[in-house]
Amino acid sequence: MEKHLALIGGGHAHMMILDNLKTIVDKGIKVTVIAPSAYHYYSGMGPGMLGGRYSPDDIRFATEDVVTKQGGTFIRDRVVKIDPKAKEIFTETGKTVGYDVACCNAGSYIPMDTVPGKLENIYPVKPIETLWEAAQKLKMLFREKRVRVSIVGGGPSSAEVAGNILALARRTHGFKPEIHIFARRCLMSGFPEPVRSRVVSILKKKGILIHEQAPVKEVGPGTIQLGSGRKYSTDFIFMATGVRPSPIFENSGLPVGPDKGLRVNRFLQSVAYPEIFGGGDCICFQERPLAKVGVYAVRQNPVLLNNVMAALEEKPLISFDPGPEYLLIFNLGGGIGVLKKKGLVFGGTLAFMIKDYIDRRFIKQFQAIEKNL
């Protein structure tokens, strides 16, 4: 009987599986990919797209085309639940997809708990494609008046979004916006002080206003209310309060970690259901916590390719090694970055040039899959 491989999501961790999809299909294995968009956007270049340095075509990969041209089935839908006992996947529109082996790269999302309902001009920083829509709205506003933009959150996404909003305004040749960051604790509190201080210094020199120890209690139409009771008026809001893994796994009763990500072992395999694998932001690696950064998804690629095929063909699995400390570079807009690698930390144009080179090279490798079909 024909085996069935189901992929939930078409992101970074599935790149090598997608690159080898024709070979998999030629072995007589049916492959179905379920994803909410025909494209996958590279998150590392998202802030640059917001700032106008990159277009959507520069940072995205045509998942649907890659799947269908290699003989797979692509379903543009959102997975809501998995029944691991029946080996079935359920989608938002009511579809049911069976599987012999499933691999999950369902990503993460920004919780909107403090936002009552759907309000105009409020955008989460994920999914990445929403940044393009936000940029188009901001450009119109920049031409009309001096806009007050608020960013809720104190992590690197807040810093990168703030700097690139300013870069977008400069490219638009409109009014310079007033940009506020509201951090629950200190901005970039999870990073070493040399990194944090450089990021804060660069943003302050750009005129960005940073409010620390300022947890946001509620977001309303044109207002932000802090836990202290103080209110700020605003024209535009970005929510960057930190990512959470997709809720699919908790909704399905699968074993999850403290962050509600799919709990996987050293083979990137569910600790309870050996036919389910996962990678990227949606997993909780049982061996040790992993930061929600794209480098781990990329490093998981060969392991996931080997192990889903091994599970289908009853061959040995291989272990995932997270590898050495990774290079970290933040894009703060206007061609300025901050770089950290081990004990080396510096900021400026060189840091951004290195990031731009690495990002462009990576996305070209991703896009080469579709071009070579």
Mean pLDDT calculated for residue range 123-152: 95
Q: Indicate whether 128 and 204 sit together in one domain.
A: yes
- C-alpha 184: how far from its chain's center? 21
Residue 342 in domain:
no
**Total count of domains within the chain:** 2
**Rounded Cα gap, residues 300 and 294, in angstroms:** 10
Mean pLDDT calculated for residue range 364-370: 87
Tell me the H-state helices in the chain: 15-19, 21-26, 46-50, 56-59, 63-69, 130-144, 156-172, 193-205, 248-251, 294-313, 349-371
pLDDT band at 373 (very low <50, low <70, confident <90, very high): confident
Residue 307 in domain:
yes
Mean pLDDT calculated for residue range 133-154: 96
List own/partner pairs for 70-74 with CB under 8 A and 24 or more apart: 70/21, 70/22, 70/25, 70/373, 71/21, 71/22, 71/25, 71/26, 71/31, 72/21, 72/25, 72/31, 72/32, 72/33, 73/30, 73/31, 73/32, 73/33, 74/32, 74/33, 74/35, 74/38
- Domain span including residue 135: 122-242
Domain with residue 294: its CATH number is 3.50.50.60
Average pLDDT for the chain? 95
146 neighbors 175 (Cβ within 8 angstroms)? yes
Q: Indicate whether 105 and 141 sit together in one domain.
A: no
Q: Indicate whether 233 and 249 sit together in one domain.
A: no
Q: Indicate whether 206 and 126 sit together in one domain.
A: yes
Q: Indicate whether 281 and 221 sit together in one domain.
A: no
Q: Indicate whether 17 and 29 sit together in one domain.
A: yes
Q: Indicate whether 213 and 232 sit together in one domain.
A: yes
pLDDT band at 293 (very low <50, low <70, confident <90, very high): confident
- C-alpha 301: how far from its chain's center? 16
Q: For residue range 4-56, list pLDDT tens digits in order.
A: 999 999 988 999 999 999 999 999 999 999 999 999 999 999 999 999 999 99
pLDDT band at 109 (very low <50, low <70, confident <90, very high): confident
Examine the fold and report which residue of 227, 242, 257 is the final residue of a domain before the chain moves on: 242
Residue 355 in domain:
no
Cβ neighbours of residue 23 closer than 8 Å, sequence gap 6 or more? none
Examine the fold and report which residue of 190, 221, 242 is the final residue of a domain before the chain moves on: 242
Q: What is the pLDDT of residue 370?
A: 83
Q: Indicate whether 141 and 199 sit together in one domain.
A: yes
* Secondary structure letter of residue 99 according to DSSP: -
Q: What is the pLDDT of residue 113?
A: 74
Residue 283 in domain:
yes
Which helix (H) or strand (E) element contains residue 150? strand 148-152
Mean pLDDT calculated for residue range 107-123: 82
Residue 347 in domain:
no
The total of other beta-carbon atoms located within 10 Å of residue 228's CB is 10
Please compute, for residue 214, the number of CA atoms within 13 A of its CA located in the half-sphere on the CB side: 19
Residue 346 in domain:
no
Residue 129 in domain:
yes
Examine the fold and report which residue of 303, 323, 343 is the final residue of a domain before the chain moves on: 323
Q: For residue range 59-108, list pLDDT tens digits in order.
A: 999 999 999 999 999 999 999 999 999 999 999 999 999 999 999 999 98
41 neighbors 128 (Cβ within 8 angstroms)? yes
Q: Indicate whether 201 and 149 sit together in one domain.
A: yes
- Whether the per-residue pLDDT at 144 is higher than 80: the answer is yes
Q: Indicate whether 247 and 235 sit together in one domain.
A: no
- Whether the per-residue pLDDT at 114 is higher than 80: the answer is no
- Whether the per-residue pLDDT at 372 is higher than 90: the answer is no
Mean pLDDT calculated for residue range 176-191: 95
Q: Indicate whether 170 and 277 sit together in one domain.
A: no
Residues in a beta bridge with 339 = 329, 346
Percent above pLDDT 90 for the chain: 88
Q: Indicate whether 101 and 180 sit together in one domain.
A: no
Residue 364 in domain:
no
